[in-house]
Amino acid sequence: MGSTMKLYNNNYLIFAITLTLAISNPNFHATEAAGFSIDLIHRDSLQSPSLLSPFDRAEAALQRSFNRSKTLIIPAHHSPQSASTETVPDAGEYLMRFALGTPKVETLAIADTGSDLTWIQCAPCKGCYKQKSPLFNPTSSSTYRSVPCRTEICNTVKSTNCQGSNGGCGFTLRYGDNSVTMGDVALETLSFGQSTSFSNIVVGCSHTARGTFSPGTSGIVGLGGGRESLLRQMGPSIGGRFSYCLQVPTSGKASKMHFGDGAVVSGAGVATTPIVLKNTATFYYLTLVGMSVGNQRFNLESSAAILGGNIVIDSGTTLTFLPKDLYDKVEAALKRQVSLKQIGDPHKKMKLCYDVTNTKGADAKIPEITAHFKGADVKLKPHNTFIMTTKKSIIMPTKKVMCLAFAPANLVPIYGNIAQMNFLIGYDLVKKTVSFKPTDCTTAI
């Protein structure tokens, strides 16, 4: 965010969540944190507010995914409770429903494990992008509190300044795709469902926002590891644990996200790998050792595999971006093992696509691909490794096209949300681990 030029990507998870800032400040605390779950709504599902066609949705999602990969820049206890909430998908991205203020004003925002500050558009809003839901009006909330400049809270939040309303604490976040949001840093109550609420949550109240933001959302929910992240703010109440189970967009149902005791991922089939800490706490780094295509395994040759922390797991990126030497080997192995007819990508972004217009059981022709993380082998299904799209022509019938959902990384390798679908994925920020469990997310509670 901000000076780090982190890309905004509409391939985000939009969640209903509340957290308490885990810093030594008495103003940050949670109330009524009995544990909760929320729905994650994919923007391509029937519950999504998106009005784009399937082709246009895929086009937008791919473009944002590539933009994000180019601009994701690396800058330098209480007893836990359980909770969960609902999320709504938004074109390879997921939306989260929650309420802000007193009285409660319900809204949707993009849930992003790759950013920290939670912000929404607020009235008055000059130069803002159009959103379908009403703007949040801070003057109508009895629990809204402006944060003065040069205070501990203001100094803790990244990308702040003294240019907020009436000289208060302001923020400016610039994203790698030239999107920008500016406004006031404030404390407010966030609520999830009927009974779970958290008071004095640090949020951004944006009065200017422009760029590639979707009208179906009011802002971003920051689920990264930084100090102002909603997860860190909620940390003492949820024991540093959260999990989600992402459904494929065509299911038409909401995915689930859990917090606290209900977020523990255990049982048969669980694979666990360490989170590697870096200078920037925002991103969740894992160590990718290699990939297998069928029975062929390819290990990373670079020193990054030995040093650890060479790939970011990110809910806000659609595709998976692999180190180039590893991607080249995976692509070459697929070309050798897959007998389907190759075809150009209709979106002109993906490198390996197949024509499956008249092919029955195309999934059966795709070899199993395994992501080998340190201590964890994650076996991927075809819906984790290929995406379906169409190729339209004025003179020819529409073709069904299946493209590899991997790409070579320009800067930072990223494990995207397509690869995460139909896995129950649990984060334990105390133990510093991420766990994967193969799950039918349509039946996950």
Active site residues: 112, 314
Sheet hosting strand 296-299, strand order edge to edge: 296-299, 288-293, 369-373, 376-380
Taking alpha carbons only, the member of 419, 438, 14 closest to residue 257 is 14
- The pair of structure tokens assigned to 437 is 């469990």
* Contact (Cβ atoms closer than 8 angstroms) between residue 183 and residue 206: yes
- The secondary structure of 136-193 as a DSSP string is B-GGG-TT-EEPPTTSHHHHHSTTEES-SGGG--EEEEE-TTS-EEEEEEEEEEEEET
d(CA 112, CA 91): 14
Cβ-based neighbours of 374, under 8 Å, separated by 6 or more: 273, 274, 286, 287, 289, 308
- The pair of structure tokens assigned to 250 is 């065509």
Q: From residue 19, how far is each of 64, 99, 200, 278, 295 by CA, in Å?
A: 28, 13, 9, 23, 44
Whether the upstream peptide bond of residue 148 has omega within 30° of 0, thus cis, is no
Taking alpha carbons only, the member of 138, 143, 145 closest to residue 121 is 138
- Sort strands 36-42 and 83-89 into parallel, antiparallel or unpaired: parallel
- The pair of structure tokens assigned to 18 is 């509340």
For the chain, what is the radius of gyration of the CA atoms? 21
Strand segments (E) across 211-249: 219-222, 241-245
* Contact (Cβ atoms closer than 8 angstroms) between residue 105 and residue 136: yes
129 three-state secondary structure: coil
d(CA 180, CA 144): 23
- The secondary structure of 295-359 as a DSSP string is TEEEE--STHHHH---EEE-TT-SSEEE-HHHHHHHHHHHHHH--SEEE--TTS--S-EEE-TT-
**What b/e string do you get for 9-35 counting C-beta neighbours within 10 Å, with b at 16 or more?**
bbbbbbbbbbbbbbeeeebbbbeebeb
> Scanning the structure block, which residue is given the tokens 């670079």?
302
* Contact (Cβ atoms closer than 8 angstroms) between residue 9 and residue 91: no
